[in-house]
Structures are given as structure tokens and as C-alpha cells.
Structure 1
Amino acid sequence: MVFSSLIFLYLFLPVTLFIYFITPNRLRNVILILASLVFYAWGEPVYIFLMIFSTVFDYANGLLIDRFRSQKSIARAILVCSLIGNIAILGFFKYFGFLVENLNSLFNLHLEVTSLPLPIGISFYTFQTMSYIIDVYRDKVPVQKNIISFGTFVTMFPQLVAGPIIAYGDVAKQLTSRKITLSLFGEGTQLFISGLAKKVLLANNIGMLWSNIKATPAADLTVATSWIGIIAFTLQIYFDFSGYSDMARGLGKMLGFEFTKNFNYPYISTSVSEFWRRWHMSLGSWFREYVYIPLGGNRAGIVKQLRNLFVVWFLTGFWHGASWNFIIWGLYFGCFIALEKLFLYKWLQHLPRIVGHIYTLLIVVIGWVFFELDQLSTAMEFLGTMFNFSTHQIANDHSYYYLSTNLIVLLLAALLATPLPKKAISAFNNKYQIGGAIFMSMLYVIFLLLSTAYLVNETYNPFLYFRF
């Protein structure tokens, strides 16, 4: 089940909220777990047992670490077993086929492997349970002795399948005591609807443009068409994922939870490092806290710092998928961040900001080619077309058609990827408080109606991050 579906919007969500709010506070976590299991089982009933196992496994490991806290060697052994278990589960379902495929290629073997569908959200909830165990071992958070509360943390449907990745310490108190006010519920509703509009009205429509261009044979692509296509994907993936994250945060507020922000207008960045401080912020925080800093961070000299950076960016790419294109994509960004650490960022500081913007957008757009096209040869051929390294036309009738029929939505999306509309609305609301409140209420109703109308005639409604 996805948030941007009529079943979720007009059946699952209203029923869940109704039962949740008529239930006494002490039982709301039980309701939330049951609703989350239904939500997850809707698409993958078999893998619900895998998620339950992960929950019980790390709940028990947390209790054992707490029990043997004074005996460091035993506590450390439990931590290691927990991490190995979690990584083994994630590795088997997500990376085993990739490993066998590469072993066959390297050693001319003929090992066969049954292709298993990837459990939705496994990368997200596995990282959450691992962070909990690590933080309990570090004594950064108290152990959770109530399995219902811990189960709520792991299975909570708003952020179960696509994040943001929540640190246990950020919601520990909310799991046992949370207040739900009309104001907070209203904020959550607005955030959810704006995220829904991002996903349905912008990402889906822009995504159809990219799908058509992506399906075009390489020989028929022009320079202009390739740029239109990858710019469309650049906007699609932002509004798709940030829209889903906004919906998750909005649902959290409705239920009394505050989830961490996952996006902060990444496309206004003036460096690649800044871009990654603004994009998928919860994943970046996870790798910084549990990989980069434990490896030594930037405390042990430039050589080890660069080593740590490349380890993190290899893992960042590999986290996104069991394919070489994701690894190349991660290391590609690692190279530019390393260059910025060494000297490039200082150079950019002495140049006009527009130079930093152009540089960052160019690097990011090229990066999305490696991310989206899973064959390196295909990606390089597409880049060759973009930069006219071969004998491709500059433009043709298809280029003009794609641009003329999608120009308005592309320009609107580009504008909405900046904070300018939000600032303008905020200024208007401050000046005309009553009028602003009425205007915004009408706007959210219109967004919901338009999104619903689109979903009624749904022909294209993917969610890009479900594959991770």
C-alpha cells in the first residue's frame, strides 16, 4: 500500500485514525502496530514475518546488552551478533543475487540463485533497529523494555517503507507519552496534503516525460531531448521522495510524533557537500553517526579522512541498490566531496554564488544519469548525447514537442524546488492573517481534490524509493 492511493486515502487512513483516537492512550501503540502490520501486509504478507523477526531479535539483543552492560566483552559480543544478524538479513535479500552474479562473471562459474523480491522498506527499518542497538550499547539511550513500544518504533507505518530513518532517541519519549493537539493534527494534515500534491501532481506528471524519453532508442535521442529528460528525472526524484517524506512527517504529526526533516531544498546548494547536507538528511546523519565518526571522522589526518569519506560514499551508493551503477554513483559523489575537502570548496567561496549553483546542479544532474540508468554503457552513451560527444542532432520535432507540452510544469517544479514560494506565502500570511488562513485552507482543499481526481484516472503512479 502506498500513501498516494485511493485505498489509503479514503479507507485505510480514516479508519485507522478513527480507531486510534477513540482508543485510550495506553492502547494506542497496540492499534498503531496492528495498523502498521495491515499496511505492510497489504503488499507483502509473507515478509511481515521477517519484519516481526527483526523487531523481536533486536528487542531481545537490547535487553541482553543492558543486562550485561557491566561485562563489556559479553555486551560487545551481543552487539556484534546483532549487527551481523541484521546485515546478514539485509545482505541476503538485497545483495545475494548481486554477489552470485559477480562471482559467476569473475570466475566463469554457473551458480544459480533464485531471485527473491526485495522486502519493501527493509533498508530503512534495518538501519533503525541497528542504530537502536548501537545506541543502547553506547548508553546513549535507555533500553526499551516494553516490546509494544519497541514494536511501534520499528513498524510505524508512516515511515516504515520509505523513511525518514528515525533514530530511537528522537522518538523514545513520544513512544510512551505524546500529546495530540488540534493544532498539531492540522499541521500534519497540511504537510501530508502538500506532500501528496508534490508526489501526484508534480512527480508523476514529470515522471511520465522522463519515462517516454528514457524509452527512446539512443540513436533517436538529440542533445536537447536528453537534457530535457534528465532534468525531468532530476525534478521527479526530488518531488517523489520529498513528497513521500512530507506525507510521512505529516502522518506522524497526526499521530502525535515529530519525525526528522528529510529534505531542505537541496537544489539551491552551492556545493556538492551542501547538497548532501540537504538531500536525504536522515540517511546522511545515519552514515555520519554510525560509520564516518566511528572510523575516525576527520580527526586522524587528511589521508584517513579521505578513506573514511570513500567508505561512506561506497556504502551510500550500495545502500541504494545491488548494482554497480549505484556504487559508481556513490563513489562519483565521494570524489567531488573529497575534492571540496581538499581545495575546491575554498575556490568556490571566492567566486560568485551563481558559479557554485551551476557547478553543483551540473554535478548532480550528471550523477542522476548514473543513478537511473543501470548499465554503465547506457549511462555513458546518454552522457555522450547530452554533451554531443557523438554525431547526435541538437534538436528535432520530438525535442520541441516535449519542451512545449511540458514547459509550464517543468518551470513550476523548478520554482517549487526553491524556498521562494514558501517565503512569499509566509509574507502574505503575516500581512493578511485572516485572508491568508482562508486562502491556504482553500489551497489545501484544491490540492486534495486535484490529487484525488488524478488518482481516480491513475495511469502512472510509481514510487522510486520502494526499490531501496
Structure 2
Amino acid sequence: MLFATTIFLLFFLPATIGSYYIEKSFFGNRFRNIVLLLFSYLFYAYGAAEFVFILFFSTVSDYLIGLALRESKYHRKWWVGISTILNLGLITYFKYANFLVTEITSWIAAMGVDAPQDWVAVALPIGISFFTFQKMSYIIDIYRRQAEPITRFVDFALYVAMFPQLIAGPIVRFKDIAVQLELRAETWERFYLGAMRFCWGLSKKVFIADACGQIADAVFELNMGALDTKSAWLGAAAYTLQIYFDFSAYSDMAIGLARLFGFELRENFNRPYAAVSMTDFWRRWHISLSTWFRDYLYIPLGGNRKGTARTAFNLLLVFTLCGLWHGANWTFVAWGLYHGFFLGIERLTGLRKLPQHRWMVPRRAVIFLLVMFGWVLFRSENIASAIGFMQTMVVPSDLALAFDVYEVLHHRNILFMAIAAAGTLGASRLPTIEDIMRCEGPLRAFVSMVLLFIMLPYCAGTMMAGGSHPFIYFRF
């Protein structure tokens, strides 16, 4: 089930809120986690019923291993190893088996040997990349004695499967939410802020991300013979804006939905296109993922404490795996290496240490262009297509605008793409929806009315007409 669908907005969400607060009224929070957990499993089962057992099995496994870590004094590494093998084994099989079989089959065929043809493609369980990393952080934090294991299975299962962040993050650290699982307080103010944040995210998705996505899809689906320089730059810019507004919209909606039930999740984005270095970009982009790799892989590998060569190696390894985490395709690996390379260059040259305000405008422009070229790798179907697309961007050519592209360049899409560009490339610090909603006064009231009485009905109407696209990170 997706947030930007009528069944979620008109049926699932009201039923969940109603059941949750009815329980609160009659039983005083005694069963609130059970209610939320049941609806979270229903949310998951709606789109992937065949994988509910996988989610449940992996949850039970890590719950028991967490308890074993608390009791064990001499075999703690064994328990962590078992959890790691189970989690990585599941994600490797479901996410990378098809890719590995395809690659091995092509290598065998290249050697002139007939490869077996009876492989049945493995379907990918939605959200597996996100809930796997959440469970791994839980076990590692217990092993490091940075957290105590949950004794109630319902609480742990809710931590893993809570529907606002289940299928596309943000990746929630157990230590950030452990206390809230038992002691959170639902208030009218928190509910109001959550509802406004959800409406804001939904509006970003339907108005801006989908408008940019129509343009990006039209360009990237062109064959190379119909692609020229202006179309390539248009497509790259559109996708650069789409992926930010699409994914940050999902994070906004997840944070808002969690707030409806008393939870406070950490922010996942902080104006990434205002970055003045690649290092700065990764402090602002998909923060829950970048900090996960930092804390559970980069620092344990030695971080930057073992010399320049080792630091460069660690960065390349971490970002190769970061790219691979996004999907089983060489384009994602290349995207990860691309970012790891520039991060290594910044460390070697000392550019990452420049003061934030020094040459801010040209540095922002350079980083934005580098990130844009990286998104071409990320969006392309294969490496050859990415190279051809980027070559068209830098080698001038001029063809008549393809009809498929012309068709999506109508006033609505152009307007919202322009708004997206102005919002991301403008001042480095602009008021956020959080800033506005937390300030009492006429501005808050005005924005609330616009969100509730203009944007929300428009979004609902668009979804009913089938005009909303799936979230990009839904497939990761």
C-alpha cells in the first residue's frame, strides 16, 4: 500500500486513527501498540501478502537473538554473527539473486558453455532494505551495550514494522525510538503538526515530484538517436528535482504519520542541493542511510584513523555498498563509486575543510552539477545508456524536440518544475514547514487552510484519477 493512494487516504488511515484512539479512550494505551502493529501488518500485507512471513520470521529471529545477547557473556559475537548472516542472507537472496544469476549466466555463455535456463525470477519483498538495516542496528547496538533489548515482542515487532516508515524509511535507530515505544504521549498539538506535515509531503509528491517525473520519464525513455543536448539537460534536471522531492515527500509523510500516533522520527533531509561539497551533500541527503553506513561500517573499518590510503579505500568500499544497497544493477555500483571517488578527492585535497561561506555560490553550482551527473547514472537502465546520455549532455547536438517530450512540457509541469528549481537552488536557508507550523500566528493559519482545503482535495482528486506515480524509493 502506498501513501499516495485513495485506499490509504480514505480508508486505511481513518480506520487506523479511529481504532488507535478508540483503544486509547477505553483501555488507556494498554493495547495501543498491538493495534498499531496489526494495522502495520495489514498495510504490508495489502501490497505483499506473500512476504508477510518473511517479515515476521526475521522479526522473531532478531527478537530472540536480542534477548540471547542480554543473557550471554561468552558467545555474544556468535549471536551477532548469526543475526548478520540471517539478515544479509535474506536481503542477498531476495534482492541480488536475479542479478547474480544473470551475470553468472552471461559469463558462462561468453565462455561458450550452455548455461541452465530453468531459473525462476525471485520477487523482491517491499521495504526489505529498510527493515533489514533497522534490525541490524538494533542487534549491533545491543552488542555494543549502547541499548537494552526489548522484552515485549509486540514492541519490537512494532519498531520493525511500523507502517509510516516500513517500506521506504527513514531508517529508524532503535535508540532513538526505544523510550517512545512505551512512554510516548499523544497530544492535539502533535497530531495537528503531524497532519500538516503529512499534507505537505503529499502535496510535494503530487504537485512537484510527479510533474518533474513526467518530464524525466519522457526524456530517459527516448532512444539515443532522438536525444539531443537540450533534451538531455532537461531530463537530468527534471530527474534531479524529482528524486529529491519524491523521496523527501515520503519522509515528510512518514514523519507526519508517525506523529499522529505520538512518535517523533528524525529528519531525513536538510536541503541537500544547498551543499557546498560532496561531504556536505551526504550530511544532508538521506541522513538516516548515510549515518547508518558511517556508524556501522565506515567507523568500524577504521574511518579516517588509519592513513590516507586506508581512508580512501574505506570511502570507496562504503559507497560501493551504498550504491549496491539501492539496487542490483551495475549503474548503482557505479553511482556509489562515483560519489566515493569525489569524497576521497575532497579528503585528499582538504576541500571538505573549507569554511561553509567561502565561495559558496560557485561551490554550490559545482556540487549540484556533479550530483546531477551522478543521478544520470542512477536513473539509467545500464552503464552504456548512462555514458551515452552524459556524452549527449557535454557534446553539443540539436534535434527537433521529440513528441513524447513536447507532450509533457505543458504549463502545469513547467510551472511546478520551476517552483522546484527555485526552492532548491534559492537561498541556502529558507523556512521549512516545521518552522511555519511551530509559529503561532496568521501565517500558520493561512498555510494550514491552504494545505487542508486546497492541496489535500486536489491531491485526492488526482489520486482518484490515477494521476500519481509510485514513489521512486518504493522499489529499494
Q: TM-score normalised to the size of structure 1?
A: 0.94
Could you tell me which amino acid in structure 1 is paired with residue 144 of structure 2? R
Could you tell me which amino acid in structure 1 is paired with residue 10 of structure 2? Y
For residues 41-71 of structure 1, the C-alpha deviation after alignment (integer angstroms, 9 at most, x for no partner) is 0011110000000100000111111111x21
Q: Which has the higher mean CA deviation after the structures are superposed, 99-108 or 375-384?
A: 99-108
What is the distance in 2 between the residues matched to 1:228 and 1:204? 15
Aligned pair partner of 1:32 in 36, 42, 51? 36
After superposing on structure 2, the runs of 4+ consecutive aligned residues of structure 1 that deviate more than 4 Å are 346-351, 394-404, 418-422, 424-431
Evaluate the alpha carbon distance shift between residue 202 and residue 428 of structure 1 in structure 2; reply closer, same or farther with a 3 A threshold.
Answer: closer
1:91 aligns with 2:89: no
What is the distance in 1 between the residues matched to 2:399 and 2:471? 32
Q: Is the 8 A contact 1:100 1:111 kept in 2?
A: no
For residues 177-202 of structure 1, the C-alpha deviation after alignment (integer angstroms, 9 at most, x for no partner) is 11001111111011100000011111
Could you tell me which amino acid in structure 2 is paired with residue 407 of structure 1? I
Could you tell me which amino acid in structure 1 is paired with residue 370 of structure 2? I
Evaluate the alpha carbon distance shift between residue 429 and residue 135 of structure 1 in structure 2; reply closer, same or farther with a 3 A threshold.
Answer: closer
Shift of 1:216: 1.8
Shift of 1:205: 1.5
Q: Is the 8 A contact 2:270 2:285 kept in 1?
A: yes
Q: Give the corresponding residue for 2:461.
A: 453
Could you tell me which amino acid in structure 1 is paired with residue 199 of structure 2? I
Q: Is the 8 A contact 1:265 1:419 kept in 2?
A: no
Could you tell me which amino acid in structure 1 is paired with residue 398 of structure 2? Q
Runs (5+) with no aligned partner, structure 1: none
What is the distance in 1 between the residues matched to 2:89 and 2:318? 19
Could you tell me which amino acid in structure 2 is paired with residue 330 of structure 1? G
Could you tell me which amino acid in structure 2 is paired with residue 65 of structure 1? L
SS at match of 1:119: coil
Q: Give the corresponding residue for 2:398.
A: 393
Q: Which has the higher mean CA deviation after the structures are superposed, 377-386 or 108-117?
A: 108-117
What is the distance in 1 between the residues matched to 2:13 and 2:468? 22
Q: Give the corresponding residue for 1:381.
A: 388
What is the distance in 2 between the residues matched to 1:166 and 1:12? 23
1:190 aligns with 2:183: no
What is the distance in 1 between the residues matched to 2:210 and 2:172? 27
Aligned residue runs from structure 1 range 259-408, under 5 A: 259-343=265-349, 345=351, 352-388=359-395, 392-393=397-398, 396=401, 405=411, 406-408=413-415
Q: Is the 8 A contact 2:226 2:402 kept in 1?
A: no
What is the distance in 2 between the residues matched to 1:438 and 1:169? 35
Aligned residue runs from structure 1 range 428-439, under 5 A: 434-439=441-446
For residues 8-36 of structure 1, the C-alpha deviation after alignment (integer angstroms, 9 at most, x for no partner) is 01110011001001113120110011000
For residues 257-311 of structure 1, the C-alpha deviation after alignment (integer angstroms, 9 at most, x for no partner) is 1111111110111111111110100000110010001111111111111111111
Shift of 1:400: 7.4
Q: Give the corresponding residue for 2:214.
A: 208
SS at match of 1:166: coil
Shift of 1:394: 6.4
Q: Give the corresponding residue for 1:14.
A: 14
RMSD across aligned positions (CA): 2.2
Q: Give the corresponding residue for 2:237.
A: 231
Query: How many corresponding residue pairs?
Result: 462
Q: TM-score normalised to the size of structure 2?
A: 0.92
Q: Is the 8 A contact 2:127 2:168 kept in 1?
A: yes
Q: Which has the higher mean CA deviation after the structures are superposed, 210-219 or 249-258?
A: 210-219
Give the fraction of aligned pairs with identical amino acids, expressed as a percent: 40
Shift of 1:106: 2.5
Q: Is the 8 A contact 1:58 1:129 kept in 2?
A: yes
Evaluate the alpha carbon distance shift between residue 14 and residue 419 of structure 1 in structure 2; reply closer, same or farther with a 3 A threshold.
Answer: farther
Shift of 1:351: 5.8
For residues 123-167 of structure 1, the C-alpha deviation after alignment (integer angstroms, 9 at most, x for no partner) is 000000011011111111001111011011011000000000001
Could you tell me which amino acid in structure 2 is paired with residue 302 of structure 1? T
What is the distance in 1 between the residues matched to 2:426 and 2:180? 30
1:51 aligns with 2:59: no
Q: Which has the higher mean CA deviation after the structures are superposed, 420-429 or 23-32?
A: 420-429
SS at match of 1:165: coil
Shift of 1:403: 5.7
What is the distance in 1 between the residues matched to 2:157 and 2:80? 19
Q: Is the 8 A contact 2:215 2:409 kept in 1?
A: no
What is the distance in 1 between the residues matched to 2:139 and 2:435? 45
Runs (5+) with no aligned partner, structure 2: none
Aligned pair partner of 1:250 in 240, 252, 256? 256
